[in-house]
Amino acid sequence: MRQFPWRSHPCLVADEKADAVLKCRDMAELATPYLEGTLPLRLRIAAWFHLRLCDACRRYIDQVRRTIRFLGSGPLPPPPANEQQIMALLDSARRDQ
Q: What is the pLDDT of residues 39-62, one digit of tens each?
A: 999 999 999 999 999 999 999 999
Q: Which SS3 state, helix, strand or coil, does residue 60 take?
A: helix
Tell me the average pLDDT across 21-48. 93
Q: Does residue 13 lie in a domain region?
A: yes
Q: Does residue 56 lie in a domain region?
A: yes
Domain residues for the domain of 26 are 5-75
Q: Does residue 59 lie in a domain region?
A: yes
Q: Does residue 81 lie in a domain region?
A: no
Q: Does residue 21 lie in a domain region?
A: yes
pLDDT at 12 over 50: no
Tell me the average pLDDT across 78-96. 89
Confidence class of residue 14 from pLDDT cuts 50, 70 and 90? very low
Q: Does residue 89 lie in a domain region?
A: no
The pLDDT value given to residue 97:
80
Tell me the average pLDDT across 69-91. 86
Domain count, the chain: 1
Q: Does residue 86 lie in a domain region?
A: no
Q: Does residue 18 lie in a domain region?
A: yes
User: Taking the CB of residue 28, how many other CB atoms lie within 10 A of it?
Assistant: 13
